[in-house]
Amino acid sequence: MASHALILLQIIVLSSLAATAFSLSPYYYKNICPQALPTIKTLVEAAVYKERRMGASLLRLHFHDCFVNGCDASILLDPSPTIDSEKGALANQNSARGFEVIDEIKAEVDKICGRPVVSCADILAVAARDSVVALGGPSWKVQLGRRDSTTASRTQADIDIPSPLMDLPALINNFRNQGLNQRDLVALSGGHTIGFAQCLAFRGRIYNATNIDPSFAKERRAICPRTGGDTTLAPLDSTAARFDTAYFNSLVKQRGLLTSDQALFSGGSTDNLVNTYRLYPQVFRKDFAHSMIKMGNIKSLTGNQGQIRVNCRMVNN
């Protein structure tokens, strides 16, 4: 009886240790490669200094990665006979960018570490945080230890990445499917305080919406005609190169660029959150950091799952 109890105790302890070993931690690379994170930070800062828009692009890459089968760097995989690349999905085609920055970071980190020990998925997560900080946003402790996927799914990307045309119920459902609540939805949407969107994504709103400031619609129609000019860019808020709360102020004024932006302030259940973030920037910064950590934990591969890619664009041979 005592022997049986001892065996049971050993099983519980081993199971606990296994769970701990395979969980994400902000200190994952502390002993493996302590220079990994400072190297990523330096290269991200250089990229953002060169082009402020790149900060938003790197943040978006992490977001679009996590929403498709988890934060596993599947978005970085190029098309191949065995890879249905997510780069061809509607939300990514001709708009997802920053891949060359990730390639540069990966090469330099592997060089500093002496071998490929830092996953492309972790590089995406850290680069997103460092981009936000570089543009004046909050910092947070990125959970690390993810591994990279060996598959991708353009079909799943078309299903899971939220569309700029979604109304509030669709957005809430989309985020709920990822284990994220309405607070996460509004906080993470606040990432649109940096960056730009293409005419194709907001044309329908500026010509057809009724919940839009007329002067704002007129301004945007000047650069986005009814036909043509699909890739012409417009800022997502009035301070597109600075992480602040201008995004939420614009929603209250019915100057949200995307249908999915204005949906957050349209007489629905998220109106109060928009007002809270608009009036209390520190609350927004805190919630944004919290939701980024939460999003970064979606279906992460750990332990012996997946692989550490040598080249972020292709699966290891």
62 among the known binding-site residues? Answer: no
Between vectors from CA 174 to CA 300 and to CA 216, what angle results, nearest 5°?
A: 120
Nearest residue to 122 via CA among 151, 94, 92, 142 = 142
192 among the known binding-site residues? Answer: yes
130 among the known binding-site residues? Answer: no
261 among the known binding-site residues? Answer: no
85 among the known binding-site residues? Answer: no
Report d(CA 85, CA 153) in Å as an integer: 6
Report d(CA 179, CA 294) in Å as an integer: 9
156: its two tokens: 């799943």
- Catalytic status, residue 62: no
Q: What residues does 196 pair with on adjacent strands?
A: 235
87: Cα separation from own chain's centroid:
15
Which residue out of 4, 62, 64, 290 is catalytically annotated? 64
Q: Mind giving me the DSSP string for 37-51?
A: HHHHHHHHHHHHHH-
103 among the known binding-site residues? Answer: no
3-state secondary structure (DSSP) of residue 149: coil
72 among the known binding-site residues? Answer: yes
290 among the known binding-site residues? Answer: no
Q: Which helix (H) or strand (E) holds 198?
A: strand 196-198
SS (H, E, C) 220-261: HHCCCCCCCCCCCEEECCCCCCCCCCHHHHHHHCCCCCCHHH
151 among the known binding-site residues? Answer: no
Question: Residues at the annotated binding site for heme b?
Answer: 192
Question: Residues at the annotated binding site for Ca(2+)?
Answer: 65, 68, 70, 72, 74, 86, 193, 237, 244
Query: Which residues are part of the catalytic machinery?
Result: 64
Question: Residues at the annotated binding site for substrate?
Answer: 162
Question: Residues at the annotated binding site?
Answer: 65, 68, 70, 72, 74, 86, 162, 192-193, 237, 244
